[in-house]
Homo-oligomer: A and B are copies of this chain.
């Protein structure tokens, strides 16, 4: 797939520099040091893996501004275990740092799986926790099969509907392998997200049919028009499978609904429009819910044998016959791993708008020890 962040960037910033800076920004707004490290690690891991939509590009709008300016997110996380029963737990995040809440929940799920074979921890009143793959890979690195999901602000319309009700809700599994990278299907249940639309706009190409519609159900393909509608909240994304039922749109809609239910039902949390971050015209906490599951491969036998079996399946897929003109078949997590190898050398691409945000936060927090390569 085309990689939106490889276009129009103006600078490559070393990973370590960006991670130290991000940690200091989180510390600067009041996040305790060890938790600031977690938050920065999640964001920079996204950038390293090439998922720049969930990386440092979100530091100012989704975290810094919400803590400092909007005051709808708490820098110091109150992690309350509301209920704990053997292999399960229910956590209330009290609008703290999503990454801190999520990492602690996944740690709990893994510890429970170690003791009971499986563990499920759900969270409510959380905030954006970054890439889902960070947490599924915590599971695989511990030799576990994992499943992590979250809801998100409204974006996807149900099949035959026009309202953006469901988030781009991921349903992400992780499987440990015998390869240098584990399997994780870390993606949205919409066909595209805003970053992809921006890429089409820059390239002057129309979007494929049936990936986004306006409030009247009219399918939109002009990327400029789509971006205006998305900003105004008057467009809805189609689920995987597209608009209507003919090409399986109801299947993507079903998976998006699964994520919504995994993220609100057991936790008695908020859902759909209530996750918009607005109420009565004012900004309010997003009250996201998450779901974390771990299944210990060791409970079923030899962990190495499980890893090998997963690897065999993935290698068989990759080594199978290609469509003429296609040179590679990928498996989930492979491109992200290759990105991480590359970016360890090249650094992380940062475009002009993000550069301005980094400089603004640095100056506001007085982090005078930082100078960026793009200055």
Establish whether residues A267 and B300, one from each chain, have CB atoms under 8 Å apart when the complex forms. yes
Establish whether residues B313 and A272, one from each chain, have CB atoms under 8 Å apart when the complex forms. yes
C-alpha gap A267/B119 in the complex (Å): 19
Establish whether residues A323 and B217, one from each chain, have CB atoms under 8 Å apart when the complex forms. yes
Establish whether residues A145 and B183, one from each chain, have CB atoms under 8 Å apart when the complex forms. no
Sort chain A's interface into a size bin.
35 or more
Which B residues are CB-close (under 8 A) to A145?
Answer: 261-262, 265-266
Most B-side CB within 10 Å, residue of A122, A160, A185: A160
Which among B166, B216, B316 is the interface contact of A165 at CB below 8 angstroms?
B316
Which B residues are CB-close (under 8 A) to A248?
Answer: 191-192, 240-241, 252
Stretch touching chain B among A222-230, A302-310, A364-372 = A302-310
Min CB–CB distance A211 → chain B (angstroms): 7
Min CB–CB distance A150 → chain B (angstroms): 15
Establish whether residues A240 and B251, one from each chain, have CB atoms under 8 Å apart when the complex forms. yes
Establish whether residues A330 and B191, one from each chain, have CB atoms under 8 Å apart when the complex forms. no
Is A88 an interface position by the 8 A CB rule?
A: yes
Is A260 an interface position by the 8 A CB rule?
A: yes
Establish whether residues B1 and A257, one from each chain, have CB atoms under 8 Å apart when the complex forms. no
Stretch touching chain B among A36-44, A79-87, A92-100, A346-354 = A79-87
Min CB–CB distance A153 → chain B (angstroms): 15
Is A118 an interface position by the 8 A CB rule?
A: yes
Which B residues are CB-close (under 8 A) to A183?
Answer: 257, 261
Which among B175, B191, B296, B317 is the interface contact of A161 at CB below 8 angstroms?
B317
Is A180 an interface position by the 8 A CB rule?
A: no
Min CB–CB distance A273 → chain B (angstroms): 8
Closest to A184 in B: B254
Min CB–CB distance A140 → chain B (angstroms): 11
Which among B147, B166, B261, B300 is the interface contact of A310 at CB below 8 angstroms?
B261
Given contacts A255-B255, A257-B313, A261-B183, contact A86 B300 (CB under 8 A): no
Min CB–CB distance A322 → chain B (angstroms): 6
Establish whether residues B161 and A306, one from each chain, have CB atoms under 8 Å apart when the complex forms. no
Is A35 an interface position by the 8 A CB rule?
A: no
Closest to A176 in B: B265
Closest to A311 in B: B265
Establish whether residues A90 and B301, one from each chain, have CB atoms under 8 Å apart when the complex forms. yes
Is A278 an interface position by the 8 A CB rule?
A: no
Which B residues are CB-close (under 8 A) to A254?
Answer: 185, 187, 332
Which B residues are CB-close (under 8 A) to A215?
Answer: 321
Min CB–CB distance A173 → chain B (angstroms): 5
Is A76 an interface position by the 8 A CB rule?
A: no
Is A208 an interface position by the 8 A CB rule?
A: yes
Is A16 an interface position by the 8 A CB rule?
A: no
In the complex, 8 of the A-B residue pairs with CB atoms within 8 angstroms, ordered by the A residue number, are: A90-B300, A116-B117, A118-B120, A145-B261, A145-B262, A240-B240, A267-B300, A271-B312
Other contacts beyond A162-B322, A183-B261, A268-B300: 18, CB < 8 A: A83-B299, A86-B117, A87-B87, A88-B117, A88-B300, A90-B300, A166-B317, A175-B261, A208-B246, A217-B323, A241-B241, A243-B323, A250-B330, A254-B332, A266-B297, A268-B309, A271-B312, A271-B313
